[in-house]
A and B are shown apart, each in its own frame.
Chain A
Amino acid sequence: MTRLEPIRIGWAPQRPAVYGHLSAAENVALFARLARLADPLGAATAVLGLVGLEKAEQRAAELSVGNQQRLNLALAFLGDPDVLLLDEPSASLDPAQTSRLWELLLARRATGRSALLATHSLEEASRLATRTMLLVDGSVVLEGGAAEIAAAMASS
């Protein structure tokens, strides 16, 4: 019997899931250690650079909402997981940060790695998604490309 390797999942809930009393760097380092990454501090530094979070020594609770979301995303990207689960990832980001996130996700998509996004932004869906599902009250009511969903929503 073939033993399957576990899939590593990165997760970013809609509201940041971080320890407020720890600094951004401490948060990422802690989760890197808990994830048993080979070089936790190196991975932490890398992922903070990836999301462009500069105030890494500031306590998470004292960060702006946008920076807290960047920390939230940094924790999702930690260890370069196989799959990302992102809930409204750009909701608290300014346009520049949103562009940066999209570039990161597109780069990942180009390497064949998956991401599951929940978003209210059709633009975000159309830019990033290869498959799109429209959920109403938790049920899939439409599946297809973002353009089809946009057209369906416009006609309803």
Chain B
Amino acid sequence: MSSIGLLLGKDLRRLVRSPLLLAALVLYPLLVALLVGLVVRYAGERPRVALVDEAGLPRSILLGNQRFDLDRLFSQASEVDLVRMSPERASHELGTGRVLAVLTIPEDFSVRLRGLHASPRLVLRTGSGALGTSVTEKMRALVYAINLKLQQAYIKANLGYVHLLRRGGSGTIGRSKLTVIGLDSAERELRAMQRSTDPSVSRPAGELADFVHQVNGAVGQVGEFLRATANPVQLVTTARPGRAWVLSAQVQAYAYALALAFVAVILGAATITAERDERTLGRLVQGLVGLGELVAEKIMLVALVGTAITLALAIGFGVVVEIGGVSGGQPWDRVPLLIPGFALASAAFGALGVLVGALARDAGAAMLLALLVGLPVVLAGVIPAGAFALADWLRAIVPFGHAVDLATSALFDPSPWGSVLRQSVWLLLIAVALAVLARIAARRLLA
């Protein structure tokens, strides 16, 4: 057996003989994965937005004989967490980033809203950066939802006018009170005149009665026209039972990547540091094993253990999904696709751990450094694309984002091969780069 094989066997034996360590390696990342999955799932779902009410909106408002609870309208329709505050405080919080945007209701909002003739305006001020764009989209959704409710009120009001024109009676149009005979009565009157024996009366009366009849029929269609022009395309949504958040594709992928990140970085750092702390490193490098072989062996060990642990997690998730009868089930046929991806991701994280272990002075410092390095590596991987200038670059050079994308694609993409291959190449390149750095840093172990 090769030297690397012999050392691998030795290190695996160490893990098997430490059941507590093994359990911690599995359970700790799972716990962290579930917590972070929760955060990732819900983070940014309701960004905090300041609401500056310059119009002094009443709690409710009467529009076209329909009363609206404005507070409820804003809170129900909102995809953001609207917080009322003064203009000064809103500006300050936007500056400090405590709110992502300021929504201002101008002074003339109520007047325009009640007037039903000029569109009332809402003014949105966002911070710079991609999150501002995201908030703008959410605010558009808010305005869309409010518009939808108001459209219904406007249409109902307009149909009231149409009803008055057709049936006749007294009513209000804008601020004008009026009494009209109505198209129905007008037609009846004209039909009565049509029966006159005087042809000079009966003929035009008949023509006018026919015209009024046609107008009445056309006006009767106005309701449908209004609804159609207000909503040329309607989105009909139906609720279908889906996966619970805890079993979602996103949470599964994050769980795997997190398990890998923490297990591999810590294990990589620990396993190289152990050689130095047990002073066996000095024995090994006396012609038995080269430093390069030693670094390679540690990375291979982490790849093996990381793959085994994440595979166990995948099977665990699958069992829960099957027992729970979750919609869609676990894509078992895709699970083998995870193995090379997990191995590459483990190797990349492991190489980072070995690098950290080689740079640290002792095991304690190595563990601390592994945690200090591991956390930013994870967080850098969850930065949304385009969040800031270097976000994409930063996300690309750390293995975490690639591991998440690989797991998501491997399990849930209809055509996973392209994405899996692309992310695998990224992980391989990162692993090789980190392994080279670890090999260089390993010289410090002999100092």
- Interface size band for B: 10 to 19
Contacting residues, chain B, for A22 (C-beta < 8 A):
10, 13-14
Binary interface profile of B, 261-284, with partner A (CB < 8 Å = 1, else 0)?
000000000000000001110111
Q: Number of contact residues on A: which range applies? A: 20 to 34
Q: Is the CB of A11 within 8 A of B278?
A: no
Contacts of B7 in A (CB 8 A): 34
How far, in whole Å, are A1 and B1 apart by their CA atoms in the complex?
Answer: 33
Q: Once the chains are docked, how many angstroms separate the CA of A20 from the CA of B10? A: 11
CB contacts (< 8 Å) of B279 on chain A: these are 13, 15-17
| CB–CB A18/B14 < 8 A | no
Q: Classify the secondary structure of A's interface with B.
A: loop
Tell me the minimal C-beta distance from A25 to chain B in angstroms.
13
Cβ of A138 under 8 Å from chain B:
no
In contact, A17 and B282 (Cβ under 8 angstroms): yes
B286 near A19: Cβ-Cβ < 8 Å: no
CA A22 – CA B10 in complex, angstroms?
A: 8
Contact of B3 among A6, A17, A20, A34 (CB under 8 A): A34
The 8 Å CB contact of B17, one of A8, A21, A31, is: A21
Partner of A13, one of B1, B14, B18, B282: B282
Contact across chains for B280 and A9 when beta carbons are under 8 A apart: no
User: In the complex, which residue of chain B has the Cβ closest to the Cβ of A60?
Assistant: B278
Bound-state CA distance A21–B19 (Å) is 13
> Does chain A have a CB within 8 A of B289?
yes
Contact check, B282 vs A30: say whether CB atoms are below 8 A apart: no
Complex contacts, A34 vs chain B, CB 8 Å: 3, 6-7, 284, 288-289
Task: Report yes or no: A19 in contact with B6, Cβ–Cβ below 8 A.
Answer: no
- Whole-angstrom distance from the CB of A115 to the nearest CB of chain B? 16
Q: How distant is B435 from chain A, measured CB to nearest CB, in Å?
A: 22
Q: How far is the CA of A22 from the CA of B278 in the complex (A)?
A: 12
Question: Which residues of A in the span 1-44 have a Cβ within 8 Å of any Cβ on B?
Answer: 6, 8-9, 11, 13, 15-22, 26, 30-31, 33-35
Please tell me if B287 contacts chain A, counting CB pairs below 8 Å. yes
Chain A window 100-122, contacts with chain B (Cβ cutoff 8 Å), 1 for yes, 0 for no: 00000000000000000000000
Whether B288 lies near A19 (C-beta < 8 A) is no
| Cα of A32 to Cα of B77 in the assembled complex, Å | 74
> Are A30 and B278 also in contact (CB < 8 A) when A17-B283, A21-B13, A21-B14 are?
no
Q: Which of B6, B17, B283 contacts A11 (CB 8 A)?
A: B283
A48 at the interface (CB under 8 A from B): no
Q: Are B286 and A17 in contact (CB under 8 A)?
A: no
**Candidates A6, A13, A26, A31; contact of B288 at CB < 8 Å:** A31
CB pair A31 B18 closer than 8 Å:
no
Most buried by A among B14, B283, B284, B289: B283
A73 interface hit (Cβ, 8 Å): no
User: Is there a chain B Cβ closer than 8 Å to A129's Cβ?
Assistant: no
Min CB–CB distance B370 → chain A (angstroms): 20
Q: Which residues of A have CB within 8 Å of B3?
A: 34
Let me know if B278 and A20 touch, CB within 8 A. Answer: yes
Q: Is A51 an interface residue (CB 8 A)?
A: no
B residues in contact with A31, CB < 8 Å:
283, 288
Hey, which chain A residues are within 8 Å of B14, CB to CB?
A: 19, 21-22
CB <8 Å contact, A11 and B282: yes
Closest to B279 in A: A17
What string of 1s and 0s marks CB contacts (under 8 Å) between B1-40 and chain A? 1010011001001100110000000000000000000000
A30 pairs with B286, CB closer than 8 A: no
Pick the contact of A30: B6, B17, B287 (CB < 8 A): B6
A8 cross-chain contacts in B, Cβ below 8 A: 287
Closest CB in chain B relative to A120 CB, distance in Å = 20
| Contact yes or no, A11 B280, CB < 8 A | no
5 intermolecular pairs with C-beta atoms under 8 Å apart: A15-B279, A31-B283, A31-B288, A33-B1, A75-B283
Interface residues of A (CB under 8 A from B): 6, 8-9, 11, 13, 15-22, 26, 30-31, 33-35, 75
